[in-house]
Amino acid sequence: QSALTQPPSASGSPGQSVTISCTGTSSDVGGYNSVSWYQQHPGRVPKLMIYEVSSRPSGVPDRFSGSKSGNTASLTVSGLQAEDEADYYCSSSAGSNVWVFGGGTKLTVL
């Protein structure tokens, strides 16, 4: 299976909204409601931000939201804050108990 496709970078000013895409195929993103999103600050452990497309773990601000349309999932960060600057990774089931990550997106808060 191939890695999911994410834009290498995204940016926005404080207070704005930014959306990061995660594109796969009907064999992964499009075929399962199993997309999850992770935030990773430099030198830190990845942190789960969204699971099962749009669910938020407790403690994750509601500024973070997830959605999916067809073979593309999206993570939207509303009301951007400086601490949102990080790398973001999507993940999805690829069927047959195989899972795949996206290549990652570096989010810059201008």
Partner 1 sequence: QLQLQESGPGLVKPSETLSLTCTVSGGSVGSRDYYWAWIRQPPGKGLEWIGSIFYTGTTYYNPSVKTRITLSVDTSRNQFSLRLSSVTAADTALYYCARQRHSGSYHYWGQGALVTVSS
Choosing from 18, 75, 104, 107, the residue that interacts with partner 1 (CB under 8 A) is 104
Q: Quick check: helix, strand or coil at residue 31?
A: helix
Give the pair of three-digit tokens for residue 57: 């773990």
Would you give the DSSP letter of residue 85? Answer: -
* 98 lies in the binding site for partner 1 (CB under 8 A): yes
* Residue 102, token pair as written in the block: 């996206």
Tokens of 61: 């601000």
Which of 22, 77, 100, 107 binds partner 1 (CB under 8 A)? It is 100
The total of other beta-carbon atoms located within 10 Å of residue 67's CB is 14
Among 51, 67, 76, 78, indicate the residue that binds partner 1 (CB under 8 A).
51
Among 23, 38, 39, 64, binds partner 1 (CB under 8 A): 38
Binding status of residue 101 toward partner 1 by CB under 8 A: yes
Could you identify the residue written with the tokens 């030198």? 43
60 binds partner 1 (CB under 8 A): no
